[in-house]
Amino acid sequence: MTAIKICGLTRAEDVAAAVALGADLVGFNFAASSPRRITLESARELAAAVPPGTLKVGVFVREDRDAITRAVFDASLDLVQLHRPVPLADVAWSPVPIIAGVGAEDPPPYDVLPRLFAVLWDSSVGRGSVGDWSALASRRRLPVRQFLAGGLTPENVGDAIRRLRPDGVDVASGVERAPGVKDPEKLARFFAAVREVDHGAA
């Protein structure tokens, strides 16, 4: 089964909807540059409503170690997602496993890969634009879980899974009415499209 991560969550009702549909991971954005950025207080409240078994992910770009560590403990995060180069030193200090958000042309160092929770291929760097999926084909056998992000929608996620067979998919803007405001109908169609491919119906 393809894991589904719903990212950029800012509202309790959207967290509830994602969980009810079966999200495997939910993402809270702490990056200063993001229109979906939330405060630590909001993250604590949203994370408290996430049931056991659904992984809580904090998304960061240029934030320093202190800020990341504080968010991990204050919001009870299970994973840290870093959209920047991830050297072995980052793996060593992070209090929880790391998802490395990278472009197809810039994978993490080979000695880092097995120590990561996953690599998130996102050439759009969180901008929600579709990258060059063909460039990822040669990366499929890396020794790490691989998630796909960047411009995924209910309309194209099925094709992306069929072509690349990622371990998981990550969506934010593709299921929104506005930045940080999820659309329940789009969310439901996204989950349905993923499960359709998983069950061999497409």
Residues classed as catalytic: 7, 122
What are the distances in angstroms from CA 184 to CA 41, 59, 66, 87, 189?
24, 22, 35, 38, 9
* Paired tokens of 64: 């320093």
Q: For residue 192, what are the contacts with CB-CB under 8 A and spacing of at least 6? A: 154
Asked whether the beta carbons of 60 and 92 are under 8 A apart, the reply is: no
Q: 96 Cβ partners below 8 Å, 6+ apart?
A: 72, 77, 78, 79, 80
- State the Cα–Cα distance between residues 11 and 116, nearest whole angstrom: 28
122 vs 83: CA distance, rounded Å: 9
Answer whether 23's CB lies under 8 Å from 6's CB: yes
